[in-house]
Amino acid sequence: MHSQLGNQIFSPRILALHVELQENLIVSLTKNMQKREFIKYIAIIIIILVIVFLSQQPYFRGYGKDIYGKVDSWVRTNVYSKVSGEVEKRGEAIKEEVNKEKNAVAQNIWDKIKNYLASVFSKSTGAQVQ
């Protein structure tokens, strides 16, 4: 039995080899991409460590302040301006949720303390406390 692709006829063995080659190619490309990303992240970490080390050296302090000022202004104009509006929108909802959780935790703690003290009192006096 042969399969036809376009004007060409292929045997099942050739098709199986073709599929296997494609799968191997995809796997090797994926591994290469993972290696490249790993190398990229290692390079970024090394660059950050070098910057941190050099920023501690007296000779490079002026450069560090200049770079920090540039990065700070870039973050304020490009990142903070985009995020601040969303934070303000959701800030009130987050505060309410935090307060609800805080009150729930306080109530839970109070209930546990109350139950503990009631059990200690009932053991010492023999009276049932509700």
pLDDT at position 9: 62
Q: What is the pLDDT of residues 63-81, one digit of tens each?
A: 777 777 888 888 888 777 7
Residue 113 has pLDDT above 80, yes or no: yes
pLDDT tens-place string over residues 52-61: 787 777 777 7
Q: With contact defined as beta carbons under 8 Å apart, do 2 and 10 qualify?
A: yes
List phi, psi (to 5°) of 127.
-90, 150
What is the number of helices (H) and of strands (E) in the chain? 3, 2
pTM of this structure? 0.33
Among the ranges given (64-73, 79-88, 96-105), the one the predictor scored with the smallest mean pLDDT: 79-88
